[in-house]
Every structure is written in C-alpha cells, then in structure tokens.
Amino acid sequence: MTKKLNRRRFLKYAAAGSAVATAGALFPGISFGDWQNLSNNSGLISWQKAPCRFCGTGCGVLVGVSDGRAVAVKGDPNCSVNKGLCCMKGYHSVQMLYGKDRITTAQVRKNGKMVEVPIQEALDLVAEKLQETKEKHGKDSVAIYGSGQWTIPDGYVASKLFKGCLGTNNVEANARLCMASAVTGFMTSFGIDEPMGCYEDMDHANVFITWGNNMAEMHPVLFSRILANRKRRTNVTVIDFATRSTRTSQAADKSIIFNPQSDLAVANAICYEIIKHNWVDWNFVNEHVSFYKGKTNIGYGTEDHFAFKDKAEPIGFEEYKLFLEDYTPEKVEKISGVPAKDIKYMAALYGDPDLKVTSFWCMGMNQHTRGTWINNLVYNIHLLVGKISTPGNSPFSLTGQPSACGTVREVGTLTHKLPHGVVMNEHHRKMAAEIWDVPVKNIDPKPTYHTVEMFRALDRGDIKFIWIQVTNPMVTMPNLRRYRDGALKDDRFVVVSDVYPTPTTDVADVILPSALWVEQEGMFGNSERRTQHFAQIVDPPGEAMSDTWQIIEVAKRLGFEKQFPWTEDNYIGKIWEEYRKFHAGPKHEMASYEVLKKRSGVQWPFVNGKETRWRFNPKYDPACSNGKDFDFYGKKDHRAWIWARPYEPAAESPDNEYNFWLNTGRVIEHWHTGSLTRRIPVLHNAVPASYVEINPEDATELGVVNGEMVKIISRRGEVTMPAQIRGRGVPPRGMVFVPFFDESYLINEVTLDAFCPISKQPDYKKCAVRLEKA
C-alpha cells in the first residue's frame, strides 16, 4: 500500500513537472514560485541544491527527494545563473536516474561474453591489466579518456594517478571535442583561459550576436534571459549569425546566414570596417593591445602523427591594416554569401560607442578546423573597439558540458595540462609533484596524444589499455568506423565506466557501474567560472560507485595508498582542498569546500570572500596590478593580442561527386549521445529518432518528402535516415544537418576526423556528402 501511494505521489510530481517544463518552453521567463511552497508545505518532499547535470550553463536546481528517491526538480531561485528557471531537460532530469536498463553490477568479458561479477573482482582485473600492460608495453601504452561530465574530483584523481603516479600523459577528455579551440583562443589572445565576463553581461548588453550558436536550443535558459532583457528594455537587438536557420534565427531580430568556414573572412571584414570608419578605441588599443601574426596554410590533421607548432611574430598596426585589405565587405561577400551591407551593419553595431555588445559562441566556432583562429578573430573585434571586460561588453565562449571548464580546463585533464599550467613547464611539474607527493621525474615533460590521436594510437596498437569514463566515444568520434574497429582489435583492453549500455560499453572488456549525478558528492565548473558543489542526495543503485572512487580503488591496488589515502566518508572534501592548492593566488583562487557546500555556486577568482565578475578590469579583478584601467595579466606584456589570421578553406568542401555540406549538432530535447535523455520518456517521445534536415528545394529536386529515407554518403561511410523538411531547422541549399543523439543512426561514420592544428579539436560541422533517395 505504501509503495503504491508513493508511486502515485511520484507520478503527480512528474505530471506537474511536465506541465512546468512545457510552460517554460512556451513562455520564456515564466515562473512558478508557488510550486516550491506547495511542495514544501506538503511535507512529502525534501529539497537539496545541485547544479543541473546537463549543459555548461550551470543552472542551479533543487532536487526533490521522497522516501529515498529523487522525484522532482525545480529551478533554484538562489542561483544567479538561472534564478529559478530550468529548461525541459533540467525539469525532467531526475528521471534519468531510473531507466530500466541501468547498469548496477560490474561485467567482465569471459570467452567473448559479458559476465556479471562483484565490482571488487572487476576492479582487481582493471588494476592487474593496467599494471601488466604498462610493464609489457611501456607507460604510454595505457590511457584514460574522460569527460566534461566528470566531476572535478573525478578528473583530479585521474590526472594524479596517470600523470603523477603512472608517469604517462595519456589523459584526455571529450571536452577536446567541444571546447579545445576556446582554450587555445583564450591562451593565444590573453595568455590565460576562461571568459573574462559573466552571465550578468546579459543584463547590460544592447546587442547580442550569436556566432554559429543555436542558443535557443543549446543554452535555452540563457537565451530566455536574453529575450527577457529584450522585452524589458527597449534598446536590445539580437543578431543570429549562422550557417543554417534555427529557432535562434526565428527569435532573433535579424538572421544572417554565411557559407561554412567563411566566418573567418566575415570577422576580418568587420575589423576592416571598424578601422575604415575609425571606430577603433585608440586609447584602449594603444594601452592594452599588441599585434601578432602566426603561420598560415597550417593543414588539417587528417594524417596519423600530424604535428604543428604555431609561431607568433609581432607586427605593427599598419601591417595588420594592410592584411585586412583582402577583407573588404565586397570581397568577403563573394566568399561568405553574406551581403556586404549586412557585414557593414554588424561592424556598425560593434563600432557604435554607445552600444554594449556581447558575442556568444559554442560549437560552431570551436568545432572548426580553424577554431583557434576564429576565436582570435572575434576577440580582435572586441579589442579594436575596447568592448571587453566591462559589464555588457563581452566576447563569451559558452561550453556544452556541465564541467568542461571545471574538470577539463581547470583541473587540466588534457595530455599537455596539469592542474596548474602545463607538463612542458618545469616549475609547473615541480608544483604538481610536491602537491601530489610523487617524484618530479614521474611527470613526463612531453605531451602524448590528443583525443583523435589517442584513438588512432589505440587503432595502431600504440595504446593497448584504455579506461573510458562518463563518455560515449563509439558514438562521438569523427570517422567513427576506424576507431570502433581499433577498439575491437584482439589485444586491446577497454574498460568503460558508465550508467547505461551504449555502443561504447559494447566494445568493453570490463564495464564498471557508475554513480550518476546526485548519487555521489562532487563539483562541476560552468561556463562563467562558477564552481558548484552537490551533495550525495540519493543512493546509487546496486554496486554502482562514483568514478572518483573507482579510480582510487585501482590506485590503491597499484600501490599508491600514500597518494590516495582518503576514505569513502571524506574523500571529496579532502580532494577539493588538495586540488585548491594548485590555484592559490588572486588569478584563480578557489572557494573553500565549506563555502562551496553552502552556496549555489561560487565564481573564481574568489579572493577575500569576494567573487570576481569581470576579469582584467581592476574595478572587479583583484589580480590586476599594472595601475591602468585594464590589465591583461595573462600575457607577459600585460596586453591582449590581436592576431592577423586569414580565411582558409575547410578540410573538405562539396565537389561534383559529394555535393552537399554535412553539418552535425544537437536538439534541445537530447543530451549529447542521448544515453541519458533517451531514457526520459517525455524527452524521448518528443524526438524519438534522429533525422536529416534538408532544404525544401533540395528535397524537391531529390524527390524526397518529409519522413522518407535518405542515404547520406561520404568518402568514409554512409547512413540512411528519415528526412525532415521545414522542421525546426532549415539548412540553406547545398547543406544537410543531422543531430547526433541517436545511436541507431551513427552519423559520425560519415564525418571527417580533421581538426584545428592548434587546438586539435575536430570539425563536426563541415565535410562533403552526397544524398540518395533510399
């Protein structure tokens, strides 16, 4: 009887949650404060704070628990990110914990079949195989591949074990696939990572320009905040600058469509116009900016062992101005398809001294074979007009995952990184060795493999053991077939920690059941430098264990008890306080564990109890020390760098044989590969299968109507899937778009593994395909 009553109560909260989520989608900014009161007064449910599990926005949520089960979610009104709002994924997120096929026990491949075993036995095997492989094939034959969905402690212990104890830099994370270009953009322009602004910029800006960024679907709560500002204030304009028409385009005041890759040319043309009309903020530029150029014709990384190192050469303003002569709006119109008048219009918005401008971008600029360059070029625009590091003036790189910033960029779970600095720097290695209590010689000064090259190494056999946590590379790797075949080779050993069966668990030799989200304690770090703690709110099912503790268990088995001395009841707090030592100082000081537990997120640098909203501006940033009105202290010259970066074509463009661009991406209902959201009935039923968006005129020429099957063929593979014509997104003629959330249609068997030579981030937005009616 009790069980039935609880189930009914659960269903009623789910019903209310669905209605609130639907209202949120239909009426941006809608609020239901009484829901909180109703629920609290009911006495049936208790609420605890957490960051949302999905995108990099970092919405604060309150998770409702009844009888030990998470039954509801609502926005946290105390969290400044979302102020009580959630998107449809957030409102339904607790349902992801309770899918019927949840992995609750460890499994080991025996005689070709997966067999359930006690988790301790599986961990013994993982440690044994790791040790055996290292002894037989060398330290760089073992690797760990994690995620921007790793908690900060997950990534920290992974880095400590592999880099500090095992001595290999074979540590990578899927954030390489989503924001590496943002990192190299920040590093090359400012010498220090992560945005200078914050979400509060949205409450001050007059102009929002989204660069290849469908915010309405990918960051819906932030986009709602923009729209609410537009409604509340009279002087707000939204420009969507994109390669296809989306819900963001529909909501924008103006939609400007450009040819793929030509954003490079348009950004330069905007700078040309700013200089031509003397909209340059000369005081700012003379005091705070240096000019540089780098190498050109830098390749695309499609071959194994591809190597590239850029070289910065100082140039003067006149040389930069001369470089821009190739990018008049009229010339760029021919490359980009953007009318010269529209380029001039955007330049005039950036150039108007009375307007505050915020630029947003995410995958469109980062998943780009010149991803670092296009990040540099948008910074150039803001730097020329001095619209940076002040409220409302912000070039703002958004992230796609809840802790791509916190775990990957800040902890440094990339091959070349350490929690502070890079492996190539002796001082940084010494600091890591001291904090980790390992000999400094353990930390190899040479990076090994970035993500694409890591999976190539697995295919070649240079890597023979890989441990994959919280990610699904057998859906997400570009040119997927090669990497799946590589993982399946006989002498490879693949360990996968996950919560549901996926195409990646299909290639595993060991599957470890993981705790998910609030089934463990942890921290995430969002797009605006905000660290968000969450407590364990419900128990994980069966033998599921946090990824952090799985790594600690293996580390202890390998003899590293001294480096991993913690117990299950205190390890997250202890890890945080150890990790925090890496960031001591005004440039990156992190809040203490006790402060994080109390607040709905804390922005770093957190100095003397105060968060830093705008970096490089001494009014807000305690790290500024040059006595001027701005201090770009990431660079030795205390200046931000404007880069002369040319337009160069994509790695593969349509031709006579493969005559369409293929662009891939996401939809609002699904999180990445869908392994979580496809187990949430409301979200799954909303978009149960992937599809290919085709321009209506192209569809007519192909003789294809809505829902008919279409074969998409590239030089690497093919996939057959239903057509969507005049759906939520409409590509221009000559382009198709496919969401990648559906493992039934592995679109990445078609994509190309070309990447930005500087960031090593692949370009999922551009390759050449042809279409056939199936």
* Cα–chain center distance at 579: 22
**Contact between 29 and other proteins per CB under 8 A:** yes
Q: Which of residues 714-773 bind other proteins (CB under 8 A)?
A: none
- Ramachandran category for residue 496: left, alpha or beta (phi over 0 → left; psi -120 to 50 → alpha): beta
CB of 4 to other proteins, least distance (A): 10
> Of 14 and 388, which has the nearer Cβ to other proteins?
14
What are the b/e assignments for 317-343, b being 16+ CB within 10 Å? beebbebbeebbbebbbebbbbebebb
The answer to the question of residue 91 lying near other proteins (CB under 8 A) is: no
For residues 12 and 562, which CB has a smaller minimum distance to other proteins in the complex? 12
- Taking the complex as a whole, the smallest distance from the CB of residue 229 to other proteins amounts, in Å, to 15
Nearer to other proteins, 35 or 291 (CB): 35
In 312-412, where do the E strands start and end?
A: 313-315, 357-361, 394-397
Rounded Cα distance, 228 and 230, in Å = 5
Q: Residue 153 class from Cβ within 10 Å (0-12 exposed, 13-18 middle, 19+ buried)?
A: buried
Cα angle, residue 485 at apex, residues 481 and 491 outer, rounded to 5°: 160
Name which position in 11, 488, 705, 709 contacts other proteins (CB under 8 A).
11
- Amino acid in position 552: I
Tell the smallest beta-carbon distance from residue 38 to other proteins (Å): 6
Number of residues that bind other proteins (CB under 8 A): 23
Report the interhelical angle of 329-336 vs 263-276 (nearest 10°).
170
Can you point out the beta strands (E) in 372-492?
Answer: 394-397, 465-469
The correct pick among 14, 215, 499, 537 for binding other proteins (CB under 8 A) is: 14
* 5 binds other proteins, rule: CB under 8 A: no
| Among 55, 86, 178, 545, the one annotated catalytic | 178
Catalytically annotated residue among 294, 392, 400, 522: 400
How many C-alpha atoms does 756 have within 13 Å on its Cβ side? Answer: 31
Cβ pair 255, 216 in contact under 8 A: no
Whether 363 is a known active-site residue: answer: yes
The H or E element containing residue 109 is strand 106-110
Interaction with other proteins in 94-133: which residues (CB under 8 A)?
none
32: contact with other proteins by CB under 8 A: yes
User: Cβ of residue 16: shortest distance to other proteins, in angstroms?
Assistant: 5
Closer CB to other proteins, 30 or 705, in the complex: 30
Q: Does 686 contact other proteins by CB under 8 A?
A: no
* Strand 142-146 versus strand 465-469 pairing type: parallel
Axis-axis angle for helices 152-159, 547-557 (nearest 10): 20
Q: Which stretch binds other proteins (CB under 8 A): 23-31, 249-257, 291-299, 387-395?
A: 23-31
| Catalytic residue of the set 95, 401, 520, 761 | 401
Q: How far is CA 635 from CA 186, 187, 258, 431, 651, in A?
A: 11, 9, 33, 21, 31
Identify which of residues 29 and 167 has a Cβ nearer to other proteins in the complex: 29
| Cα–Cα distance list, 723 to 659, 694, 716 (Å) | 17, 7, 21
Q: Which is nearer to other proteins, 18 or 66 (CB)?
A: 18
20 touches other proteins by CB under 8 A: yes
* Residue 584: both structure tokens together: 């001591």
Q: Is 89 a catalytic residue?
A: yes
| Selected catalytic residue, list 74, 89, 356, 766 | 89
Task: By CB under 8 A, name the one of 1, 3, 5, 31 that touches other proteins.
Answer: 31
Q: Please, which residue, 16 or 595, has the CB nearer to other proteins?
A: 16
Query: Catalytic: 178?
Result: yes
Strand 394-397 versus strand 522-525 pairing type = unpaired
> Residue 15 or 322: which CB sits closer to other proteins?
15
Active-site residue, 536 included: no
Interface with other proteins (CB under 8 A), residue from 19, 312, 488, 705 = 19
Of 9-17, 242-250, 599-607, 722-730, the window that binds other proteins (rule: CB under 8 A) is 9-17
Catalytic status, residue 96: no
- Is residue 18 a contact residue for other proteins (CB under 8 A)? yes
Q: Which of residues 624-683 bind other proteins (CB under 8 A)?
A: 682
Residues 255, 598: contact at Cβ < 8 Å?
Answer: no
Half-sphere exposure of 202 (CA within 13 A, CB side): 22
Write out the residues near other proteins by the rule CB under 8 A. Answer: 8, 11-12, 14-16, 18-23, 26-27, 29-35, 38, 682
Q: Which residues are catalytic?
A: 89, 178-179, 363, 400-401
